[in-house]
Amino acid sequence: MAEFTMPSLGADMDEGTLLEWLVQPGDPVHKGDPVAVVETAKSTIEVECFETGTMAELLVDPGATVPVGTPLAVIGTSGEDGARKPRKRTARHARKKSEPTEPAPASPRPSPPPSAPPPSPAAEPEPMPATPVPAATPATVLHPGHLEAGPLLRHLAEHSGVDLEALRGTGPGGRVTRADVEKAAAARSAARPPRARATPLARRLAAELGVDLTTVAGTGTDSAVRAADVRQAAPGPATPVAPPRADARPAVERHATVPPSDDRAATMRRAIAALMSRANRDIPHYYLSTTVDMAASMNWLREHNRHSPVGERLLPAALLLKAAALAAREVPELNGSWTDNHFTAGEGVHLGVAVSLRGGGLVAPTLRDADALALPQLMAALKDMVTRARTGRLRGSEVSDATITVTNLGDQGVESVFGVIYPPQVALVGFGRVVDRPWAVDGLLGVRPVVTATLSADHRATDGAVGARYLTAVTRLLQNPEQL
């Protein structure tokens, strides 16, 4: 058996809220499969499984907030699951069989003291206790079967709202089987009005926006309605003015008292403030900057986009990110983390990309092995990641293990940015807007597109000479875009 625990989805995460389970007890799971949705102070994230096996038991209910490292579920791994369950059933069965057999030896013990003849009559009554047992009422026969029910069957019954004690088992000896529980659950579901499948976050959002979940087409597992589906189905700008409706008043009053979006933004801001305060306090930063001539890159980009389909065209950001990743591979002293008072080089270049969220705040999901991605692949991965970051659909593996982070504020009109390092990383690269500036080339003054590249680095891990090598590598790569 293996424990599935609340993962750490960032250096600033101390606890998380379990929003929903994407699997149930008895479901097979594979390494990398999303099994739960967790809400952190910054975002809503799908958490993947790190074991392959069968989901044996769910330990935490949706809606609960628990610290990082808290066991959320138990997974029966292949090999252990099959080996443990028979031993458990055997142990329980042995205990049950010992209970009726213990009184039998007790009767011969008191019988010898009176005289020798009693043992022979006492031997005849032994089959008599066995005779009434089959003749007992069905409840008496069924009760041991209920006790034989394994944990998966009990969890299935609990999840389905089925009372095991009220079931008549169809298995050997009157034992309740999985088919009995599923049949009872189906009958129970048929007896109650239909209820739309939706995540807890989607239900909360639907109540706030006045959306009828039964009219929303779900895109989640088994067509479950997700928060993104509710937002899409919500009315336009008129929605916030809907408070006058009587049936919506409780949600509106609650919204007016503690607006969920404002509360979430405040929580995120506090988390960012705590992490950045710690980073500024504990990390001795040094800063470098350089201005890069982007003429060769922009010319190459125009030619590439002219001969590419619309869906494969690139933005300058793709070139900047690829140059940052390749430079990190060339200067590995800046690609890794500072832990336990020493530097640990990263296994691969996993590029964290700062993404601003529409409701305020930011997250930094990870482009894994960014140095090995071709430019079209990197562009597609970037678009997909930014979209899912802003709709709360990131996965756990995408918000952890970054080895160096890039922040690009060029689309905001900023020409240079000096960022704060995201611990435990040791460097953060900043890019501004590509702008036209007077530029001297071979002694002649002209107008060229340029970009300001900056580096914030941890002085404990490196010094300015290493940082300068990194920015020099970035400059060389951007001036030779065919190497990207």
Give the tens place of pLDDT for each residue, 359-381: 777 889 999 999 999 999 999 99
In this structure, which amino acid lies at residue 419? G
Residue range 2-77, CATH number: 2.40.50.100
pTM: 0.58
- Largest pairwise CA distance in the chain: 127
| Four-point Cα dihedral 241, 247, 251, 253, nearest 10 | 70
Q: Compute CA distances 213 → 3, 20, 22, whole Å.
A: 34, 17, 19
Residue 448 pLDDT: 96
Domain spans in the chain, listed from the N-terminal domain onward: 2-77, 200-257, 284-483
pLDDT tens string 228-244: 788 788 775 433 433 43
Distances (CA, A) of 171 to 16, 162, 167, 175: 42, 17, 12, 5
Between strands 362-363 and 355-356, the pairing is antiparallel
What pLDDT is recorded for position 117?
45
Distance of alpha carbon 338 from alpha carbon 138, whole angstroms: 67
Distances (CA, A) of 28 to 75, 77, 85, 305: 9, 10, 16, 45
Beta bridge partners of 290: 453
Task: Confirm whether 2-77 and 284-483 share one CATH topology.
Answer: no
Q: What is the pairing mode between strands 435-441 and 285-293? A: unpaired
Over the chain (484 residues), what is each successive 10-residue block's mean pLDDT? 85 83 91 88 82 91 90 79 38 37 42 44 43 38 45 66 76 74 76 64 76 81 77 61 38 33 72 88 96 97 93 93 98 96 95 86 92 95 90 84 94 92 96 96 94 98 97 98 94
CATH topology of domain 284-483: Chloramphenicol Acetyltransferase (3.30.559)
Residue pLDDT, tens place only, 143-152: 444 445 555 5
